[in-house]
Amino acid sequence: MHALLTTLAALAVGLPWAHATSYDPLKPPSYPLAVRSPYLSAWIPGNDVESLPTSQAQFWAGNNLGWTVFARVNGDVYSLFGVPDAPAGVKTATVTEATYTSTHSIFTVEAGARTLTLDFFSPVSPKNYLRQSLPFSYLTVTVQDGIACAVQIYSDIDNTWTGQSNHSSWSYSAKDDTQVFQISAKDTATFSENADGQALWGSAVYASRPWAGSSLSTASGPGSAVRGRFVSHSTLTGTHADWTTDGVVAFVHDLDTFSDTRTVTFAVGHAREEAINYLGATQTGYYRSKFSDTADAASYFLDDYTLAQLESNEFDKLVSNTGDAAYGSNYSDILALSVRQVYGGIELTIPDESLDTSETRAFIKEISSDGNINTVDVIYATFPIFYVLSPDYIKLLLSPIFDYMGSSAYDQKYAVHDLGEHYPNATGHLPSGESMPIEESGNVIILTYAYQKATGSGDLATTYAAQLEQYATYLNENGLYPAAQLSLNDALGALANQTNLGIKAAVGLTTYGTLTGQQKYIATGKDWADKIWTDHLGTDEQGTHFLLQYGTPPWFLAFNQYADILFDLNAFPEESFNATGEFYPTVRAAAGVPLDGSVGWGQTNWQGFVAATVDGDAREMFISDMHSYISNGLNTAPFSDRYWVQTSGSNSPGEAYAFRARPTLGSHFALAALRGANTWL
Ligand SMILES: *[C@@H]1O[C@H](CO)[C@@H](O)[C@H](O)[C@H]1NC(C)=O
Ligand SMILES: *[C@@H]1O[C@H](CO)[C@@H](O)[C@H](O)[C@H]1NC(C)=O
Ligand SMILES: *[C@@H]1O[C@H](CO)[C@@H](O)[C@H](O)[C@H]1NC(C)=O
Ligand SMILES: *[C@@H]1O[C@H](CO)[C@@H](O)[C@H](O)[C@H]1NC(C)=O
Ligand SMILES: *[C@@H]1O[C@H](CO)[C@@H](O)[C@H](O)[C@H]1NC(C)=O
């Protein structure tokens, strides 16, 4: 009773908190808006959502993207999204709800007489390469039923999407009833990026078509003039003026007078015909096998809306059920926030010359940490999501790496770290680039087996049998006492005798023996695991936990044990998992378990792996800490997989540490993977 009276009183006097936004299931650091490729990656910080009408979308790096929505409702114009400086007379809508699923971010706003929703929908369609490869995302604006009145919806984008705001060009085309704007940077090199990591070639795309009986008008020109025209009239002029620095390309849907629920949909995108520079052969998007023209592809993307929406409902449900069944709704919340970020870091390609879909490849960008292309350990960190949802991606990502390693351009005995220093140039590993001999050799073996176990298909192991044998031999000769070298945590520097590398070698050899049916490798892997754990080579004297280096504290989070559990290899004794499950909670810091006893930060991807190697309280601790981290309101960057677990200098526990938007979040599916492979059909 008291609460109700308080709410009514607040409404009466218009206190701001009377309109507090509600968040379902939680308010994340950043909501994906249009996240489909490393170059179509638009987000909005969770903390900005309450002020969505005046807050701007951001590229993953944090730079603003011009993308607005206004609605005229019963004659009054409201800004709904992306308008820091509204034209005179424009009112501001009120944001009441914000929701995310695996594929949608949905915001509900009140604009005078009507309630509207903005549904930012980035399809994730792991088994449908055509749908997955289309480099576009949907924005659907729905006017909920309400009192009969006229509504017009305005939306525009600007040249910030090209990465070069001051020197671009635009074009307009119509195909049947689909209207398409494209904006391109001028005088820039193919395959080049700006300092924020935006593509400086290809084109930003904004497209729409009449929807629900709407009449559609368009304009391009200076933002103030185009928006001013919408404020004073309900349609645009159809004028397509020459490009200007402050220019926008804009659509208006005039829905006339109605009282039922109506929707209009836009497609926003970034398309490059020359997508990836792969060992001298340009690769293009998979979708170009069907649509050689960007405008045709955008039009098809709008055709596909209904089916994509149906699929997303099923897909969201699958991810949500997977999470719930495998350890509760906290876990589902983490998975749902991770999915678009993973698939949005990957592109599916075919050769630009032949357009031959039998040569489909996938490329993944090490977003924000260094931009490397097809980094083997990034694929390794990500693989649990592939194991659960789309194991073929392991083959699509690994084949170009095996092909490169098998060529005369690569002459090491161990597996390579990456296919090139900077996406989209998969031009080969630079001698000056990173190498992680033990780690990557173990990774390619484990990834090959993961693909085979999840799909039942032996083609990858057969095609690259000689190379796999070579890497197993390398592990056999070098793996128990690793020389000074980098590991997956390159922040630690090159250290000798890293326990986690010994673990990777033991598990890698056991996996190789299992993959090829060679008992001697299985025996060696188990023997090493016994040395490391049972004989205390890699543990403290009492054998309660693993150490960073043999015989040398501090303790270390032994995430390389994960494949042992996933594949039921029994390389390490059960006691090692029981003991570490008891140990990790004892070294938890304020906001979670750090990577080792000497650093103040942890990584959610490795916490995700370790959560799958322990039971009970320890497992719940890892899930709960990750959940608390993504809902603590302290962060604004797209899900950073590295964060401070304790106070460190000016950083507070629960604050993100530098990384952002990395596709490595596939690791969060490590627990789900224990419940089954290849579950999305
Ligand atoms: C773009 O032009 C604006 C206005 O002329 C100027 O303030 C800004 O510095 C320019 N930006 C770049 C990156 O050249
Ligand atoms: C990729 O290589 C081209 C030269 O072929 C270069 O112009 C471009 O800047 C490179 N891209 C990146 C992101 O380093
Ligand atoms: C690694 O550990 C072994 C056994 O403790 C030792 O013999 C070897 O010298 C160490 N290697 C290096 C590079 O420190
Ligand atoms: C490990 O823990 C499980 C569950 O508590 C228990 O059943 C098992 O006996 C333990 N194994 C060892 C080797 O301690
Ligand atoms: C879910 O996570 C929150 C932290 O965000 C934690 O307080 C809560 O206890 C967790 N719930 C369960 C059932 O573990």
CA 631 to ligand 5: nearest atom: 5
Q: How far is the CA of 317 from the centre of ligand 5 (A)?
A: 21
Pick from 438, 478, 480, 481 the residue to mutate for probing ligand 3's pocket: most ligand atoms within 8 Å of its CB.
481
Tell the residue nearest (CA) to atom 2 of ligand 1. Answer: 166
Of 261-270, 486-495, 591-600, minimum mean pLDDT range: 486-495
> Is residue 10 scored above 80 in pLDDT?
no
Pick from 160, 165, 166, 167 the residue to mutate for probing ligand 1's pocket: most ligand atoms within 8 Å of its CB.
166
Tell the residue nearest (CA) to atom 11 of ligand 1. Answer: 166
Taking the C-alpha atoms of residue 415 and residue 437, their distance in angstroms, rounded to an integer, is 6
Give the pocket of ligand 5 (CB within 6 Å): 328, 330, 620, 624, 627-628, 631
Q: Is the CB of 422 under 6 A from ligand 2?
A: yes
Quick one: which ligand is closest to 494's CA? 3
Q: How far is the CA of 47 from the centre of ligand 5 (A)?
A: 21
Domains in the chain (CATH in brackets) are: 24-310 (2.70.98), 360-673 (1.50.10.10)
Of 84-88, 100-104, 354-358, minimum mean pLDDT range: 84-88
In which element (H, E) is residue 426 found?
A: strand 425-426
pLDDT in tens, 457-486: 999 999 999 999 999 999 999 999 999 999
Q: Count the residues in the chain.
A: 681
Give the burial class of 211: count Cβ atoms within 10 A of its Cβ; 0-12 exposed, 13-18 middle, 19 or more buried. Answer: buried
> Is residue 14 scored above 70 in pLDDT?
no
Quick one: which ligand is closest to 280's CA? 2
Q: How far is the CA of 195 from the centre of ligand 1 (A)?
A: 15
Q: For a pLDDT cut of 90, what percent of the chain falls above it?
A: 94
Give the pocket of ligand 1 (CB within 6 Å): 165-166, 245
Tell the residue nearest (CA) to atom 6 of ligand 2. Answer: 192
Taking the C-alpha atoms of residue 674 and residue 565, their distance in angstroms, rounded to an integer, is 8
Give the burial class of 632: count Cβ atoms within 10 A of its Cβ; 0-12 exposed, 13-18 middle, 19 or more buried. Answer: middle
Tell the residue nearest (CA) to atom 14 of ligand 4. Answer: 575
| Pairing mode, strands 114-121 and 104-111 | antiparallel
First to last CA, the chain: 50
Quick one: which ligand is closest to 282's CA? 2
CA 578 to ligand 4: nearest atom: 1
| pLDDT, position 491 | 83
State whether the Cα torsion 496-497-502-503 is positive or negative.
negative
Q: How far is the CA of 284 from the centre of ligand 2 (A)?
A: 16
Q: What is residue 120's three-state secondary structure?
A: strand
pLDDT in tens, 396-422: 999 999 999 999 999 999 999 999 999
CA 624 to ligand 5: nearest atom: 2
Quick one: which ligand is closest to 570's CA? 4
Copy the structure tokens of residue 544.
């309660």
> Is residue 4 scored above 70 in pLDDT?
no
Q: Is the CB of 568 under 6 A from ligand 4?
A: no
> Mean of the per-residue pLDDT values for the chain?
96
CA 164 to ligand 1: nearest atom: 13
pLDDT in tens, 583-609: 999 999 999 999 999 999 999 999 999
> Is residue 3 scored above 80 in pLDDT?
no
**Which has more confidence, 591 or 5?**
591
The pLDDT-based confidence of 489 (bands split at 50, 70, 90) is confident
Average pLDDT over residues 645-651: 97
Q: Is the CB of 481 under 6 A from ligand 3?
A: yes
Average pLDDT over residues 639-651: 97
Quick one: which ligand is closest to 424's CA? 2
> Is residue 12 scored above 70 in pLDDT?
no
Q: Is the CB of 425 under 6 A from ligand 2?
A: yes
Q: How far is the CA of 282 from the centre of ligand 2 (A)?
A: 13
Q: How far is the CA of 621 from the centre of ligand 5 (A)?
A: 9
Copy the structure tokens of residue 273.
């015909």
Q: Is the CB of 189 under 6 A from ligand 2?
A: yes
Q: How far is the CA of 173 from the centre of ligand 1 (A)?
A: 28
Q: What dihedral angle (degrees, nearest 10) is formed by the CA atoms of 232, 235, 237, 238?
A: 150
Quick one: which ligand is closest to 28's CA? 5
The pLDDT-based confidence of 19 (bands split at 50, 70, 90) is low
pLDDT in tens, 40-88: 999 999 999 999 999 999 999 999 999 999 999 999 999 999 999 999 9
> Is residue 177 scored above 60 in pLDDT?
yes
Q: Is the CB of 365 under 6 A from ligand 2?
A: no
Q: How far is the CA of 483 from the centre of ligand 3 (A)?
A: 8
Taking the C-alpha atoms of residue 526 and residue 352, their distance in angstroms, rounded to an integer, is 46
